[in-house]
Amino acid sequence: MAYTINKTDGGTVVTITDGTVDNTTSLQLFGKSFSGFGEGLNENLVKLLENSAGTGAPSAPLRGELWFDTNTNQIKVYDGSSFKPTGGSKTGNTAPSSPSVGDLWTNTDDDQLFVYTGDSRTHQINNKWELVGPVFTAGQTQSGWKIETIPSAGGNKVVSSMYVGNTRVCIVSKEDFTPSATQTGFATIKSGMTLNSTLGAVFEGTNTSATFLNVSGTTNNSGLIAGGNFLRADVADTTTGGLTIDADAGLSIGDDQELTVTVTSNDVTVAQTSQDKDLKFTVNDGGTTKTPLQLTGADGGVDITGDVTITGNLNVSGAYSYTSSDIVEHTDNFLKVNAGQSEQDAGLVVETNDTDDARLFYDVSENHWSAGENQVYSQVIRLADAEVDGDANKGKVLKTTAAGNVKVTSANLGSVNASGGAIATTDTSSTAVPTIGQVATFGKFWNGSEKYVSTANPTSGDGSDGDIWFVREA
């Protein structure tokens, strides 16, 4: 007949058939008539006696089962999901290996108690082991805060004392009182913190008031700033850090605050406050101090010495004066005037003694260049403005055609040569144009005395030497 093995809570562990043994738990469970059950039964008793002592937990534990962990020398109980320490602490000068969360360990070297948290924190003395107490080791002796009761004429006073190496350094109290029993270094105790008078102790660090600041050192220590690292107000000093003035009143320099830098509505003002004095900007040019820029207090002007490079536009309201040379040089290919303004006459003005000087300008109403002086101007003629046909385009300036011809309606000519005399009879190269008067006296120019017009050719007896005989058709 099969055995049904039940737990305390009524749950079934296993059903074992006759003549078999079951190993689904930490112990061997025998069926009816199983041969050799005596050895297994005795082993079960040993396991129960030693709580399954070993480096590894039982493979098939039941909730409530005990196991002695030989790694940590602890009794642990199975809670249904894992084995947990049953209580107490491990002792030793080194932390236990393979601990579980909640384990306690007493460090026998330092006389301190730790609890295992399972996670690392920067303030933990041992990795994942949290100090329970005391805060000082046995070798450090009494160190840290201790709550004490001190007798006084006004009754017992509860205070907090700070010890270092078993010496009381200070006492913190909520009230002033005089101890009725001797407290070494504390004849009287003040409200707040009272230091041990026998130690010559002083406050180092931040304080609302101090008689002196020691500036002999510059090495900071443990978050404390050495006095030598503070800027002095009574002597020249240097800072290696940035300087910020977080106030619109800004910066004042000079024994009379001649230079100020202030802010108003986010506008920054750099001011030279002394009357008629200059604000100079100097540079070191090859060892020589030069002043390329000076704001002159006497006239409010700006003096610039040296070359000036401007990236962007230069806008000048007022006259531009160039006094160091008679010639103004511009390296640009074009010089633009009237830029950004509405369309209007613009050009070049040369100052003269006339009413309106001499001008060369572009006349926007006529769309051409004009020039002149004393308010009398005329068009500047371009080759494109001239005409080759003066008969069809009267009143225009003439130019020759490609063949060198000029056409006009009529032409009045003066005398050909300078003296107005006749054209020499031997001159065959002159390109001068004769006047009508010269044509009428043509014969005279050839030393002839008569001019004849006939339908017949002359005979040997007609006329004299130099005469001209015109033959016309009848």
Q: In this predicted model, what pLDDT tens digit does every residue of 429-442 receive, in sequence order?
A: 666 666 666 665 55
Higher pLDDT, 188 or 6: 188
**In this structure, are strands 167-173 and 157-164 parallel, antiparallel, or unpaired?**
antiparallel
Q: What are phi and psi of 368, to 5 degrees?
A: -155, 165
pLDDT of residue 427: 63
Question: Is the link from the previous residue into 134 a cis peptide, with omega within 30 of 0?
Answer: yes
- How many beta carbons lie within 10 A of that of residue 88, not counting itself? 11
The count of structural domains within the chain is 2
pLDDT value at residue 190: 94
Q: Which tokens belong to 74?
A: 């602890």
Paired residues of 452 in beta bridges: 469
Q: CA–CA separation, 274 vs 222, rounded Å?
A: 48
Tokens linked to 432? 């001068």
Q: Is residue 186 situated within a structural domain?
A: yes
Is residue 338 one of the residues assigned to a domain?
no
User: Does 102 or 399 have the greater pLDDT score?
Assistant: 399
With H, G, I as helix, E, B as strand and everything else as coil, classify residue 50. helix
**Does some domain include residue 268?**
no
| Residue 38 is assigned to a structural domain of this protein | no
Query: Is 463 within the bounds of a domain?
Result: yes
**450 or 117: which carries more pLDDT confidence?**
117
Q: Which amino acid is at 17?
A: T
Average pLDDT over residues 103-131: 79
Compute the chain's Rg from CA coordinates: 62
Q: What is the pLDDT of residue 446?
A: 46
CA atoms of 129 and 146, how far apart (whole Å): 24
Are β-strands 302-304 and 66-69 bridged in parallel, bridged antiparallel, or unpaired?
unpaired
Q: What is the DSSP letter of 70?
A: T
Distance CA 118, CA 124 (A): 12
Q: Is 85 exposed, middle or buried (0-12, 13-18, 19+ CB in 10 A)?
A: buried
- Least confident stretch, 56-70, 115-129, 131-145: 115-129
pLDDT > 50? residue 444:
no
Average pLDDT of the chain, as a whole number: 83
Residue 209 lies in a domain: yes
In angstroms, the Cα distances linking 462 to 56, 263, 433 are 168, 117, 31
pLDDT digits (tens, 9 = 90+) for 227-264: 888 888 888 889 988 999 999 999 999 999 999 999 99
Looking only at the bridges linking them, the beta strands covering 259-264 and 29-30 are unpaired
- pLDDT of residue 197 exceeding 70, the answer is yes
Give the domain range for residue 157: 141-239
What pLDDT score does 288 carry? Answer: 95
Is pLDDT at 89 greater than 50 in this prediction? Answer: yes
Tell me if 337 is assigned to some domain.
no
Say yes or no to pLDDT of 380 above 80: yes
Point out which residues pair with 360 in neighbouring strands.
348, 371
Mean pLDDT, range 18-35, rounded to an integer: 86
Please write the tens of the pLDDT for every residue from 58-82.
988 988 889 888 887 888 888 888 8
Q: Which of 73-77, 284-288, 352-356 has the weakest average pLDDT?
A: 352-356
CB 220, CB 226: distance < 8 Å: yes
Identify the CA nearest to 182 among candidates 172, 165, 197, 166.
197
Q: How far apart are CA 280 and CA 278, in angstroms?
A: 6
Tell me how many degrees the CA angle 81-84-90 measures, rounded to the nearest 5. Answer: 165
Is residue 43 very low, low, confident or very high in pLDDT (cuts 50, 70, 90)?
A: confident
- Give the pLDDT mean for 374-399: 87
* Mean pLDDT calculated for residue range 45-62: 88
Amino acid 179 reads P
Confidence of residue 452 (pLDDT cuts 50, 70, 90): low
User: Which stretches of 117-271 are DSSP H helices?
Assistant: none
pLDDT score of 12 more than 80 = yes
Examine residue 427 and state whether it is found in any structural domain, yes or no: yes
Is the full-model pTM beyond 0.85? Answer: no
Instruction: Determine the residue type at 302.
Output: V
**Where is the domain boundary, 218, 239, 260?**
239
Looking at residue 224, what DSSP letter applies?
B
- Helix, strand or coil, per DSSP, at residue 12: strand
- Supply the pLDDT for residue 459: 82
Q: Which of 239, 265, 287 is the last residue of a domain?
A: 239
Looking at 207, 239, 271, which one is the last position of a domain? 239
